[in-house]
């Protein structure tokens, strides 16, 4: 039998935790036998002293064991899922899930809500009239069989230890611990039961991981966890110094995603959607389908509409529009050479597109539209940003967020974009 102090002292003194210590502490914390103060001390010791691959794998397995595991092996097609570590304008899940489903692979996409400057997939979809995030396991299975794709909220039964520990890390300065980030993400994804997994690990100013080195460490840790659990896992490191597409918000990101499904949309959103689709299809063993052709054919759009309808949404309904708008014009004629993802994300959050604490409401129509991307020519006095909100008193703080968040250089200035996909791990 173990006790909390013994486990805390072991990690404080840089010892490796044994399998039985890890199993005990996760189970006891989930049951309330280990209290928040003790788990906070252990989380801080892990942040400072780290864990090796065996410890992280066992910690992840113990979190999975705290709840139920889903099993999609009876479906008529293979399964693949994608997880993004979060960014600004990251609407990729919306076109990606129906595209991969239209290529013959089922996509059980359990998604979350936004917090702070990173948008939440469920918040975006909830801007569609009637759409609901909460599905029973039976509804999820039925939709995967009939439509091929589902984007919904994770039930309380999946990795309840993670839900408890995630909330604790948020208020104790231990969010950045790579063993805890990796085990948090992977415990839910492995418990979800997908056959293969593609990780989109964001790096840059608007991402959680600011440096390529830390992003690569996190990606390698998660890929190892997936492989140890028998899930085909790969990770792409992708740039999040510039926001994705031309919109950050909820309804406006849905509209942009529909443009991609219709064969248009911003080039970077299309590029990343196709790159992730190819990885998901390869992981599921489907190598004879070109997702670019499927996207162009309109089949992914058909799947999108079926997916939205299956969750009681109306894919043809008008999306909510913000009551108020404010245009920011270009300060000079020239070339936009920088657009900072964090500045845009903070502005969208302050306009009401995001929430400051879990459980708060968001505005469906709020957000930021930018009318140029780095490399584009801009004209003095022409619109550069449109800010959208229902509450005009929010504009001032949003403008503060954008201050210094972009650069316009002289006309003719050469601009070389950074690659969107930086590296592939796995």
Catalytic residue of the set 66, 111, 183, 184: 184
Q: For the residues 80-104, what does the mean pLDDT come to?
A: 96
Query: Is 241 a member of any domain?
Result: yes
Distance CA 232, CA 222 (A): 11
Q: Give residue 118's pLDDT band: very low, low, confident or very high (50, 70, 90).
A: confident
Least confident of 38-47, 63-72, 169-178, 184-193: 169-178
Do residues 303 and 329 share a domain? no
Rg (CA), the chain: 22
DSSP 3-state assignment of 176?
Answer: coil
Do residues 205 and 344 share a domain? no
CATH number for the domain harbouring residue 297: 3.40.1030.10
Instruction: Please tell me the pTM assigned to this model.
Output: 0.94
Q: Judge whether 371 counts as a catalytic residue.
A: no
Catalytic residue of the set 81, 162, 228, 239: 162
Q: For the residues 265-279, what does the mean pLDDT come to?
A: 98
Q: Give residue 170's pLDDT band: very low, low, confident or very high (50, 70, 90).
A: confident
Do residues 45 and 115 share a domain? no
Q: Judge whether 323 counts as a catalytic residue.
A: no
Looking at the predicted structure, is the pLDDT value of residue 315 above 80? yes
Query: Is 317 a member of any domain?
Result: no
Catalytic residue of the set 77, 188, 189, 394: 188
Q: Judge whether 188 counts as a catalytic residue.
A: yes
Q: For the residues 130-156, what does the mean pLDDT come to?
A: 94
Q: Give residue 166's pLDDT band: very low, low, confident or very high (50, 70, 90).
A: confident
Query: Is 330 a member of any domain?
Result: yes
State whether the Cα torsion 406-273-114-46 is positive or negative: negative
Distance CA 37, CA 58 (A): 22
Which class for 344: exposed (0-12), middle (13-18), buried (19 or more C-beta within 10 A)? buried
Distance CA 360, CA 74 (A): 38
Q: Give residue 114's pLDDT band: very low, low, confident or very high (50, 70, 90).
A: confident
Reference 95, options 298, 342, 312; nearest CA is 298
Which domain covers residue 216, as residue numbers? 80-155+190-310
Q: For the residues 337-349, what does the mean pLDDT come to?
A: 97
Do residues 133 and 272 share a domain? yes
CATH number for the domain harbouring residue 402: 3.90.1170.30
Structure tokens at 139: 């509804």
Domain count, the chain: 3
Distance CA 170, CA 172 (A): 6
Query: Is 416 a member of any domain?
Result: no
Structure tokens at 329: 């014009």
pLDDT value of residue 171: 83
Distance CA 163, CA 225 (A): 19
Do residues 244 and 135 share a domain? yes
Alpha helices by DSSP H, listed for 66-159, are 93-102, 121-125, 137-146
Q: Give residue 4's pLDDT band: very low, low, confident or very high (50, 70, 90).
A: very high
- DSSP E strand boundaries for 171-231: 196-203
Query: Is 63 a member of any domain?
Result: no
Distance CA 287, CA 210 (A): 34
The chain-wide mean pLDDT, for the chain, equals 95
The strand pair at 334-339 and 383-389 is best described as unpaired
201 neighbors 219 (Cβ within 8 angstroms): yes
pLDDT value of residue 360: 81
Do residues 23 and 88 share a domain? no
Do residues 355 and 402 share a domain? yes
Catalytic residue of the set 11, 58, 77, 83: 83
pLDDT value of residue 112: 83
pLDDT value of residue 115: 67
Distance CA 177, CA 86 (A): 16
Q: Judge whether 58 counts as a catalytic residue.
A: no
Do residues 46 and 136 share a domain? no
Least confident of 88-102, 153-167, 326-340: 153-167
For the chain, helix, strand, coil in percent to 5 are 45, 15, 40
- Percent pLDDT > 70 in the chain is 100
Distance CA 232, CA 79 (A): 11
Structure tokens at 258: 């529909």
pLDDT value of residue 359: 75
Q: Judge whether 18 counts as a catalytic residue.
A: no
Beta bridge partners of 386: 327, 369
Structure tokens at 114: 């936004």
């Amino acid at each position: 039998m173990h006790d909390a102090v013994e486990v805390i002292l072991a990690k404080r003194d840089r010892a490796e935790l044994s399998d039985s210590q890890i199993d005990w502490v996760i189970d006891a914390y989930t049951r309330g036998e280990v209290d928040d103060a003790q788990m906070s001390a252990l989380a801080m010791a892990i942040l400072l002293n780290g864990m090796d691959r065996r410890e992280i794998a066992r910690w992840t397995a113990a979190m999975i064991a705290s709840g139920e595991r889903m099993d999609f092996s009876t479906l008529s097609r293979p399964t693949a899922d994608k997880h993004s570590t979060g960014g600004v304008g990251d609407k990729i899940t919306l076109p990606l899930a129906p595209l991969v489903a239209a290529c013959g692979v089922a996509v059980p996409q359990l998604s979350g809500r936004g917090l702070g400057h990173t948008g939440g997939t469920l918040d975006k979809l909830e801007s569609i009239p009637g759409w609901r995030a909460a599905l029973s396991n039976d509804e999820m299975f039925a939709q995967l069989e009939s439509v091929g794709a589902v984007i919904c909220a994770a039930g309380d039964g999946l990795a309840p230890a993670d839900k408890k520990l995630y909330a604790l890390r948020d208020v104790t300065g231990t969010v950045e611990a790579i063993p805890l980030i990796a085990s948090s993400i992977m415990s839910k994804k492995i418990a979800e039961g997908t056959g293969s997994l593609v990780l989109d690990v964001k790096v840059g100013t608007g991402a959680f991981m600011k440096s390529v080195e830390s992003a690569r460490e996190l990606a390698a840790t998660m890929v190892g966890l997936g492989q140890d659990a028998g899930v085909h896992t790969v990770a792409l490191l992708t740039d999040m110094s510039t926001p994705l597409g031309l919109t950050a918000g909820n309804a406006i990101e849905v509209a942009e995603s529909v443009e991609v499904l219709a064969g248009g949309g911003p080039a970077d959103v299309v590029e990343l959607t196709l790159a992730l689709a190819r990885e998901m299809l390869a992981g599921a063993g489907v190598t004879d389908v070109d997702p670019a052709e499927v996207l162009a054919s309109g089949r992914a759009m058909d799947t999108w509409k079926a997916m939205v309808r299956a969750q009681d949404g109306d894919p043809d309904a008008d999306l909510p529009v913000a009551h108020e708008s404010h245009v920011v014009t270009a300060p000079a004629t020239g070339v936009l050479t920088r657009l900072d993802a964090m500045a845009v994300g903070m502005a969208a959050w302050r306009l009401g597109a995001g929430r400051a604490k879990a459980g708060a409401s968001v505005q469906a129509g709020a957000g930021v539209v930018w009318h140029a991307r780095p490399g584009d020519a801009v004209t003095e006095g022409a619109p550069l940003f449109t800010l959208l909100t229902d509450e005009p008193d929010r504009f001032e703080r949003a403008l503060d967020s954008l201050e210094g968040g972009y650069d316009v250089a002289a006309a003719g200035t050469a601009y070389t974009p950074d690659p969107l996909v930086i590296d592939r791990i796995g």
